[in-house]
């Protein structure tokens, strides 16, 4: 997505025409799933994210850098006589990148939210 967002009609005319805070100009999201033919029910998953820099201050004097993130996982659906088990395992932020994921400006203050570090997750879901 390419977004040319600009401020208009602001109470402060000095910021009209500037980029709004916490809005990336470019976002790219990619999701891939591959079903392994030799193992019925198994899927390999990959998610990629890229977001361009975000403005931090309303006067556009400060920004946070672009971020990118890669997540990998697998999903296995096991059929039972009277239901299904879905096993999931994955890692988010595989490269363990340190970055700010958001920078909202509210009530005269800037808030910076960090991207979560590399995170591993395992789960099972039963449908009986």
Q: Which residue, among 45, 56, 4, 57, has the nearest Cα to 26 in the 3D structure?
A: 4
Averaged pLDDT, 14-35: 95
CA distance 5 to 17: 9
pLDDT of residue 12: 87
Q: What is the pLDDT of residue 2?
A: 94
DSSP-assigned letter for residue 96? -
Q: What is the pLDDT of residues 49-93, one digit of tens each?
A: 999 999 999 999 999 999 999 999 999 999 999 999 999 999 999
Q: Are strands 67-80 and 83-92 parallel, antiparallel or unpaired?
A: antiparallel
Which three-class secondary structure state does DSSP give residue 30? Answer: strand
Please state, rounded to an integer, the average pLDDT across all residues of the chain.
Answer: 95
Which pTM value belongs to this model? 0.83
Residue 48 in this model has a pLDDT that exceeds 90: yes
């Amino acid at each position: 997505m390419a977004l040319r967002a600009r401020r208009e009609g602001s109470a402060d005319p000095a910021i009209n025409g500037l980029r709004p805070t916490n809005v990336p100009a470019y976002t790219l999201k990619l999701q891939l799933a591959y079903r392994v033919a030799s193992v019925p029910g198994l899927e390999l998953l990959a998610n990629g994210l890229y977001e361009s820099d975000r403005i931090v201050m309303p006067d556009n004097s400060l920004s946070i850098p672009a971020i990118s993130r890669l997540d990998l996982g697998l999903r296995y659906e096991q059929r039972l006589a009277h239901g299904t088990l879905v096993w999931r395992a994955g890692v988010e932020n595989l490269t363990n990148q340190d970055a700010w994921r958001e920078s909202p400006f509210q009530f005269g203050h800037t808030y910076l939210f960090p991207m979560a570090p590399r995170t591993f997750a395992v789960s099972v879901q039963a449908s009986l």
